[in-house]
Chain A
Amino acid sequence: MKKTGSQIIVECLKKEGVDTLFNYPGGAVLPLFDELSSAPFHQVLVRHEQAAVHAADGYARASGKVGVVVVTSGPGATNTVTGIATAYMDSIPIVILTGQIPTSLIGNDAFQEADIVGITRPCTKHNYLVKELKDLSRILKEAFYIARSGRPGPVLVDLPKDILVDSAEFKYPEKVSIRGYRPTLEGHPGQIQRAIHLILKSKRPLLYVGGGVISSNASKELFHLSEKLGIPVTMTLMGLGGFPGNHPLSLGMLGMHGTYRANMAVMESDLLIAVGARFDDRVTGKLESFAPQARVIHIDIDPTSISKNVRVDLPIVGDCKRILSKILSLLEKEETPSFRGGLHKWHRQIESWKAIYDMNYQQEQIIKPQYVIEKMDELTGGEAILTTEVGQNQMWAAQYYKYLKPRTFLTSGGLGTMGYGLPAAIGAQVAFPNRLVIGISGDGSFQMNSQELATAVQYRLPIKVAILNNGYLGMVRQWQEFFYGKRYASSSLEGISPDFVKLAEAYGAVGLRATKPEEVVPVLKKAFSIPEPVVIDFVIDPEENVYPMVPAGEPLNQMRLV
């Protein structure tokens, strides 16, 4: 049966199991929107295309499904770039459909023309310009397959207007075959056996886990491995939630703002087992001094991550979940209780680091941001979904909330995108309408996409936005304090931000404010009880810093603790 390109797209989206789209219409893509008007998808109209991608990203991170975005050509497409780059750096599966001017006009500098395939080439896992209608259904099938398989990532499909309008026979391809793309899923059996050998010989092993554990849904296997062998676990920012933050074997986050014990454990470990992590500079600090005593096992689905920054003794390429479960099943044959017993000294050493320095702050007359996050953790029992912006708010949210489950901490780790948190919270709330979703924000970051309050209000998404308002671009100010002689160039927002309570009310959301420590808990309780979007303005200590801090390029044991 003949269908128009727009109808073919709707059919393909249905076949892919898509239920939600994050949209913004425009001229070139109108034929598709016309078709979408009667399509059975939940469609969320955002207020800026960047937010559409962040929302789809939040939706994907929270649900594990592919997020889908539909926007128009030219500025609609270019506005998505930051969102796409964010998703690319964090390996989040998204498919972005962009309208494009008709094929006959491409290259003529037509109205709202942009070479979005050229622009997004380095920040997508793959992208396509559909030049012929006969390729459309194959390309869409491939786009979803590439986005969600292997190391996931964003895939963009550019759709010229004539492709949307013209008709062709529709046949949905049942199989995908891309000869240049065959991700390795099963780890090499010999390497896995060698890994077990190394693990059982180690005295001070440490699991260093990243976002790969979450994207491959491997947290159950990780949990069993850690518990069975008694191996402590430290998580990257992207890995938080991959292992329960309240577990005795959890050392919390490592790296620049990691815990004292996690960073010390890296320095003292004799075997680092990296799982779905990529040795980012914010994790390693000075490369030459990273894990100086350790042999390194690296489990990752992406071969390019292996030996990119840190020399690896034993690489295993494949899907984290499959490899960890293989290791677990092979360990059945080994004598593990005695190994576990042998780690006693190592556990005691880690305990002693915890006794020397643990996350702490002094709650004074003015609200401390750490206190806000800690109270949130207590009130929600670690069960909420948190999104963050970037900077101090992000680090406090990482340090003081104990994430118990994967897909509950959504943050822009790789690209570090301010403006991510609010739209990501919208996406997560769309995926889970009945769960508590909290967007941790700063007064600076919030203003990078605050227009999305309108979206939250329109769809009655009961997200809670907690602004840790210190009147500064806080992390910039902190670096200026430490490294630039306290010259606070362009980082003060004091007295020049809008009244966030009134702003929330102007959008039709609820605005609340807390200025004293004793107001924090009542305001949080109140916010959580309101089934509507709420913005809370927490007026916090303007010069509070994030500790510990390893200055960029220093070894991990060079931590500023106060």
Chain B
Amino acid sequence: MRHVITLLVENEFGVLARIAGLFSGRGFNIECLSVAETLDPAVSTMTIVTRGDDQIIEQVLKQLNKLISIIKVVDLIDKDFVEREMILVKVLATEKTREEILRIVDIFRGKVIDVGAKTYTIEITGDEKKIDALLSLLKPLGIKELVRTGRVAMSRGSKAMTELT
């Protein structure tokens, strides 16, 4: 099953290597990972999307907690949460497809942020389903390049991650 895990970590060199090494060394899978500083420059937040049965996920969470540079680990799958990803996609735009691409982008509330002689570069934000749906529509038209940020996620409601149990 797919799990979205959010972490608070010490913002020091080697933390990402510790986490990546833990996943590779123990054979856990990382679907995507994003990391950036929080308001407190000494702390970073990470979102990891991983898959595994209950026993594996239990180990993932415990092993993450065991790392000394990790301050807090929350598996959002038990919570109500929102997640977003941003993608940039360069798609072929011909006489015939230009209109259709713009229509699709509009429906998905995306933006064309660059125009080439034969391409549009589109920015779009959304959850996994929305992104997948968009890509499946653009694919037949010819995707030249795709860059994804990886998921970021946050629990719903007024509690901060530090207040979750």
Which residues of A are interface residues toward B (Cβ below 8 A)? 117-118, 121-122, 125-126, 129, 131, 146, 178-181, 302-304, 306-308
Contacts and interface: CB of A to CB of B under 8 A. Distances in A.
Given A118-B17, A121-B17, A121-B21, A303 B68 contact: no
Contacts of B69: 126, 180
B21 A180 contact: no
Contact of A126 (B21, B65, B68): B68
25 contacts: A118-B14, A118-B17, A121-B14, A121-B21, A122-B22, A122-B25, A125-B68, A126-B68, A126-B69, A129-B14, A178-B68, A180-B9, A180-B10, A180-B67, A180-B68, A180-B69, A180-B70, A180-B71, A181-B68, A303-B62, A304-B59, A304-B62, A304-B66, A307-B58, A308-B59
The 3 closest A-B pairs by CB, nearest first: A304-B62, A126-B68, A181-B68
Interface in B13-59: 13-14, 17-18, 21-22, 25, 55, 58-59
Contacts of B18: 121
Contacts of B55: 307
Given A122-B22, A129-B14, 16 more contacts: A117-B14, A121-B14, A126-B68, A126-B69, A129-B13, A131-B13, A180-B10, A180-B69, A180-B70, A180-B71, A181-B68, A302-B66, A303-B65, A304-B59, A306-B62, A308-B59
A307 to B, nearest CB: 6
B63 interface: yes
A129 B9 CA distance: 18
Contacts of A308: 59
A122 B69 CA distance: 14
Interface of B: 9-10, 13-14, 17-18, 21-22, 25, 55, 58-59, 62-63, 65-71
Contacts of B62: 303-304, 306
A307 B59 CA distance: 8
B46 to A, nearest CB: 13
A179 B70 CA distance: 8
Contacts of A179: 71
Interface of B is mostly: helix
Contacts of A129: 13-14
B63 A304 contact: yes
A126 B9 CA distance: 15
Of the listed residues A118, A181, A304, A306, the one surrounded by the most CB atoms of chain B closer than 10 A to its CB is A304
A117 B21 CA distance: 12
Contacts of A303: 62, 65-66
B149 to A, nearest CB: 26
Contacts of B14: 117-118, 121, 129
A181 B25 CA distance: 21
A146 B58 contact: no
A126 B55 CA distance: 25
A304 B65 CA distance: 9
Contacts of B10: 180
A174 to B, nearest CB: 20
Nearest to A126: B68
Contacts of A131: 13
Contacts of A180: 9-10, 67-71
A117 B14 CA distance: 9
Contacts of B17: 118, 121
A286 B69 CA distance: 36
A131 B58 CA distance: 35
B97 to A, nearest CB: 48
A88 B8 CA distance: 26
Contacts of B13: 129, 131
Contacts of B71: 179-180
Contacts of A126: 68-69
Contact of B68 (A122, A146, A307): A146
B64 to A, nearest CB: 10
